Structure 1
Amino acid sequence: MAQPVLAVRNLHVRFRTGDGTLHAVKGIDIDVNAGETVAIVGESGSGKSQTMMSVMGLLASNGWAEGSVKYRGEELVGLSPNKLNHYRGSKLTMIFQEPMTSLDPLYKIGDQLALPLTTHGGLNKARARKRAIELLELVRIPDPERRIDSYPHEMSGGQRQRVMIAMALANNPDVLIADEPTTALDVTVQAKILELLSDLQKRLGMSIVFITHDLGIVRRFADRTYVMKRGEVVESGKTGDIFAAPKHPYTQMLIDAEPTGRKEPVPAGAPMVLEAKDVQVTFGLKKSFFGKAGHVLRAVDGVSLSVRAGETVGVVGESGSGKSTLGRAILRLQPASGMVRFEDRNLMPLDRGGMRPLRRHLQLVFQDPFGSLSPRMTSGEIVTEGLLVHEPSISRKERDRRAAQAFEEVRLDPAWRNRFPHEFSGGQRQRIAIARAMILHPKLVVLDEPTSALDRSVQKEIVELLRELQKAHGLAYVFISHDLAVVRALSDEIMVMKTGKVVERGTAEQIFDRPKEDYTRDLIAAAFLTENAKAEARSLAS
């Protein structure tokens, strides 16, 4: 039998924490053969990402690996960073889960794409720029000649993730480790990216290690699958066999996990919490040498919406459709024109000082949890930071008590509030971000892709939690997402956005059962390929 390209044997990963030593990965074995796709799946905190971070030698400073990791027979564990750099970026590359924290905000996209090309590929500046444009085109970023000079904050979450994929593919690696590479992507782009990776794999003979919580993707994309739970591999084998006849109860649970149920109707006579009319957000994209105005991008183009207490308005659309920009605009975090009224107050004339007393009532859960959590604060300090501003008179003991309560509400162990953000998985960090917003008992919460980093089983819990909080406190939600299964489970009304405009709106039943626009039909069809895959797997098992 041919030697594996990547062979992991008896791998242990541990972290020193304030609560003692955390044993994150417990003696696992994994093989990756030439040209195949291996998936590693499991819930948040199962150790799947830390397994591959140890392969790349990228563990946090308080972590260490023991055991063996061999690339084509050469041992990687214990190598110095300089020796590891011989492999990283050319032989082994990694697409990280959170693109905004992986991209330098001070450098243009083109400069960051050029770095691996000049460092590992030996290209000069001109050839690297040309290749960078080709890579942006490969990952379906429109107008690559112009967008190559954009900064990360000028791109949507999905576009930033595509830039990360382009960087990882720059030097045609031997092994590509993809850590949740489609998490931030809408369903239609997700399908295109998976098709692109599959095509590149065939053309380059590249091996792919795919880390994900989306089993629908795994079924369509992976040759073999390892299922991890609490740092251990509980099941492994050919992907088709695992889906057709899972042997471990945990694997069966992952396959069946899906947000279920429908939201209760809004109570009659519920008061209006927020009303927005004709909201517009424009960006000027450069001026000429003589000061002549350049291209103007209408990111949000005349959008109106209203949200009552206890109501959820879902906003869906592809990356770059204006969903997140709309959410920031109605919270007055983004300059905009039009009218935005919160309860009985028009927010548009208010300056920063005028908005500050209202901030506790208007909360935002960000798409990228790691980028919004300070790495120098404990998770408990992060969750209670808003209390220092809006309830400065309460004692430290009371803040700590409320932090523990908030952790319990989002299904995290209260004892973990002394840990730092890097000691949590991506999904756990997102729950911390939700706890930070909810601890202030707001009236309106804009949830910008709040479940994008969560595995399906945790998504189900978070959907139930959000429903409970909404019912208990009469919360109004604006729920922004590309995950239509979650949107359907949470929303009263759904708005479908495309290039800054609302192309269709209606109740959840109207949008999913009787869509009027082709664009909406395409989104739904792409989103529920995974649902069809599950049904097919069940039929095979029977």
Structure 2
Amino acid sequence: MAASETILSVKDLRVRFRTLDGAVEAVKGINIHVKSGETVAVVGESGSGKSQTMMAAMSLLASNGEASGAVDYRGRNLLALSKSELNKVRGRKISMIFQEPMTSLDPLYSIGNQLIEPIRRHRGLNAAEAREEALKLLRLVQIPDPERRMKSYPHEMSGGQRQRVMIAMALANDPDILIADEPTTALDVTIQAQILMLLAELQRKLGMAIVFITHDLGIVRRFADRVYVMRYGEVVEEGEAEAIFANPQHAYTKMLLAAEPTGTKAPPPPNAPVLLEGRNVEVTFKIGGGFLAGEPLLLRAVDRISIRLKRNQTIGIVGESGSGKSTLGRALLRLLPSDGVIRLGDRDISSADRQAMRPLRRELQLVFQDPFGSLSPRMTIGQVITEGLLVHEPALSGKQRDQRAVEALREVGLDPNARNRYPHEFSGGQRQRIAIARAMILKPKVVVLDEPTSALDRSVQKQIVELLRKLQADHELSYLFISHDLAVVRAMADYIIVMKQGKIVEEGPTEAIFSDPQAAYTQTLMNAAIDVTRFRLSA
């Protein structure tokens, strides 16, 4: 097969969504082609139409979406195929790694079953053969203890681990074309470059083409052969990757290349009161077990951690996927059972039940890592954002709640006129901003931000960092900022806790941690961040 053969051709593709506010044109007549064995990057900010382009190509648009034009795969227009004909292509010839793994994995099936089923369906292997292939895939994407993880369910895995499972599923049937929609968004810095190099290695081995969708233009420099830059549903620049990086022509492309969160956070005054405190906090999970399975395995996700969060302080919690940082945040909010002491101001909430915690929820808010999974698909975003007001400010009229929604949407950089639309009509980054607006509308004292910028492009990350700083200054908010993105943590936090396997391995002021890390693990994280940067910037 000639390497120059075009195997996928998108011609005059248009994607529209029917909404209560009229038709929204997400993709406006674009043309993209993919050759066998090459990597094509489609980059742009959230809402640029890059994901909807590939969703349309796979006929996976939401029910209110429609596509026109042609998507030609080896001489067949995918937009004209029946569902049964499409199913012979989707998941076998063309596979996709979705941006939000939690909504793509079935919560009722174990990871092993979700890998084994498509292998058996498409490759005709027996159960034992399919199980062995599934184990190989988990090892390939560096899931620790794959034999045990075969029995795990999606909610028992971290965000990064779920993303790696999605990559394994996409590779299960040796696809001709792999569409990777933000495949490293949820991954920590120590494995981002490894995953990219893994995909490149698999591409050389299998000869597959890769369509790489990302908001981070820098990450594709060494990975992509050609680049399409999208904005507002149109391709504004295209060309060979080296040419795009060496001499970008469009102002928008130049902005994407230059975007990076900057600035530092000053610490709170020494006499600032402690708003949230945890002493010797422990969280233990039982995995497996039962009448026939024997004793369950006990996993201590958080191991005797103590933390003190002051008013107007931001503590950054960093560590690899599975280190326990998100579990710690939820335990401190009393969303998970835990041992140890947890205090909110002068109140001991260690043993507070659901009813006792309800009036305190206004003071303690959480922005989830996966915004789509936390937003009800049956509610408009206006209803989503104001839902908490019904509980905590029931005296407000409908008009007053609507005005608060307008103000909250403006604060996070979204058009208030979009408040009658539904979550699926927004990009991943826009949904994350909706989730932030929902938390901030109640004016809480403490906010746990669990990877709040992981789905956002760099330019929007800068805006969100600035927004969070402003809200903090205006209302003396305290943040627990959980992230694997060290650049964002450095810009947001004045104090850092480094976690590994449920324990704190190092903590201290942000600049001290970055300039002179003491623990070997912290040094590994910092070096990995440098390596990813080199991976992005090296020619």
TM band (smaller chain): over 0.9
Aligned amino acid, residue 410 of structure 1: V
Aligned amino acid, residue 114 of structure 2: Q
Partner residue of 2:155 out of 147, 153, 156: 153
**1:247 corresponding residue in structure 2:** 249
1:339 correspondence with 2:348: no
Partner residue of 2:359 out of 357, 360, 369: 357
Partner residue of 1:407 out of 394, 406, 409: 409
**1:520 corresponding residue in structure 2:** 522
1:126: Cα distance to partner? 2.1
**SS at the partner of 1:293?**
coil
Residue by residue over 1:286-329, the C-alpha shift from the partner in whole angstroms, topping out at 9 and shown as x without a partner, is 33657853321110011111111110000000000001000000
Mapped to 1, the partners of 2:325 and 2:267 lie a distance apart of 24
Answer whether contact 2:170 2:178 (CA < 8 A) is retained: yes
**1:393 corresponding residue in structure 2:** 395
Partner residue of 1:499 out of 498, 501, 508: 501
- Higher deviation after alignment, 114-123 or 453-462: 114-123
1:265 correspondence with 2:233: no
**1:461 corresponding residue in structure 2:** 463
Aligned amino acid, residue 450 of structure 2: D
Residue by residue over 1:72-130, the C-alpha shift from the partner in whole angstroms, topping out at 9 and shown as x without a partner, is 12111122221111110110010000000000111111111112112211122222112
1:301-320 matches, within 5 Å, as 301-320=303-322
**1:14 corresponding residue in structure 2:** 16
**1:41 corresponding residue in structure 2:** 43
1:267: Cα distance to partner? 3.5
Mapped to 2, the partners of 1:246 and 1:378 lie a distance apart of 39
Aligned amino acid, residue 430 of structure 1: Q
1:216: Cα distance to partner? 2.6
Residue by residue over 1:403-427, the C-alpha shift from the partner in whole angstroms, topping out at 9 and shown as x without a partner, is 0000000000000110000000000
Counting matched residue pairs gives 537
Mapped to 2, the partners of 1:361 and 1:238 lie a distance apart of 51
**2:485 corresponding residue in structure 1:** 483
Answer whether contact 2:267 2:495 (CA < 8 A) is retained: no
**Structure 1 stretches lacking a partner, 5+ long:** 538-542
Aligned amino acid, residue 149 of structure 2: R
Aligned amino acid, residue 137 of structure 1: R
Residue by residue over 1:485-527, the C-alpha shift from the partner in whole angstroms, topping out at 9 and shown as x without a partner, is 0000000100110100011111110111101122112212222
1:17: Cα distance to partner? 0.8
1:531: Cα distance to partner? 4.1
**2:135 corresponding residue in structure 1:** 133
**2:111 corresponding residue in structure 1:** 109
Distance 1:146 1:291, change over 3 A: closer
Partner residue of 2:234 out of 221, 232, 250: 232
Aligned amino acid, residue 438 of structure 1: M
1:530: Cα distance to partner? 4.9
Partner residue of 2:93 out of 78, 91, 97: 91
**1:471 corresponding residue in structure 2:** 473
**SS at the partner of 1:275?**
strand
Percent identity over paired residues: 66
**1:323 corresponding residue in structure 2:** 325
- Higher deviation after alignment, 469-478 or 270-279: 270-279
**1:433 corresponding residue in structure 2:** 435
Partner residue of 2:384 out of 382, 385, 398: 382
**1:218 corresponding residue in structure 2:** 220
1:182-221 matches, within 5 Å, as 182-221=184-223
**1:286 corresponding residue in structure 2:** 288
Mapped to 2, the partners of 1:236 and 1:408 lie a distance apart of 33
**SS at the partner of 1:5?**
strand
1:395: Cα distance to partner? 0.6
**SS at the partner of 1:287?**
coil
Aligned amino acid, residue 423 of structure 1: E
1:339: Cα distance to partner? 0.8
Mapped to 2, the partners of 1:254 and 1:87 lie a distance apart of 34
- Higher deviation after alignment, 120-129 or 480-489: 120-129
Partner residue of 1:370 out of 357, 369, 372: 372
Residue by residue over 1:223-242, the C-alpha shift from the partner in whole angstroms, topping out at 9 and shown as x without a partner, is 11100000000111111111
1:532: Cα distance to partner? 4.3
Answer whether contact 1:255 1:534 (CA < 8 A) is retained: no
Residue by residue over 1:235-290, the C-alpha shift from the partner in whole angstroms, topping out at 9 and shown as x without a partner, is 11111111111100000000000001111331353221111111111112233657
1:194: Cα distance to partner? 1.2
**Structure 2 stretches lacking a partner, 5+ long:** none
Mapped to 2, the partners of 1:479 and 1:43 lie a distance apart of 23
Aligned amino acid, residue 178 of structure 2: L
Residue by residue over 1:131-152, the C-alpha shift from the partner in whole angstroms, topping out at 9 and shown as x without a partner, is 1111111110011111101111
Mapped to 2, the partners of 1:529 and 1:256 lie a distance apart of 19
**SS at the partner of 2:27?**
strand
1:68: Cα distance to partner? 1.2
**SS at the partner of 1:220?**
coil
Answer whether contact 1:216 1:530 (CA < 8 A) is retained: no
Aligned amino acid, residue 45 of structure 1: G
**SS at the partner of 2:123?**
coil
1:448: Cα distance to partner? 0.3
Distance 1:397 1:170, change over 3 A: same
Mapped to 2, the partners of 1:314 and 1:399 lie a distance apart of 32
Answer whether contact 1:3 1:72 (CA < 8 A) is retained: no
Mapped to 2, the partners of 1:184 and 1:222 lie a distance apart of 20
Aligned amino acid, residue 321 of structure 1: S
**SS at the partner of 1:188?**
helix
Mapped to 1, the partners of 2:89 and 2:383 lie a distance apart of 38
Aligned amino acid, residue 513 of structure 1: S
Aligned amino acid, residue 239 of structure 2: G
Mapped to 1, the partners of 2:372 and 2:222 lie a distance apart of 29
If the length of structure 1 is used for normalisation, what is the TM-score? Answer: 0.97
